[in-house]
Amino acid sequence: MSLERVCGTYLLIASGDALQRFEYVRVLNDTGGEIMAMAAEGKDTEDVIHEISILYEMDEEDIRPGIRSFIDEMETIGYLLPMKGE
């Protein structure tokens, strides 16, 4: 899977063998794209929550459920391997 940004739009794109398991392309919103980018850098869930809270100037506790839910969905689909900090 590749995370690409085209004209400001985040895309998750499957290639090679992954095309047999995943849809070719999935559009992510800005937050989803930023989370996936941080995950690709090896950050764990708490790091992601912390950085997103700074980026959007929001309280970590307020955004934690939403971010965890998104990460869970990505792991369930298989776009992400289980992240540390869970």
Q: Which residues bind another protein (CB under 8 A)?
A: 2, 4, 6-9, 11, 13-16, 19, 24-25, 27
Residue 24 or 62 having the CB closest to another protein: 24
Residue 23 or 60 having the CB closest to another protein: 23
Minimum distance of another protein from residue 33's CB (angstroms): 12
Minimum distance of another protein from residue 19's CB (angstroms): 6
Distance CA(20)–CA(18), nearest Å, equals 5
DSSP 27-69: EE-HHHHHHHHHHHTT--HHHHHHHHHHHTT--HHHHHHHHHH
Distance CA(27)–CA(68), nearest Å, equals 19
Residue 33 or 63 having the CB closest to another protein: 33
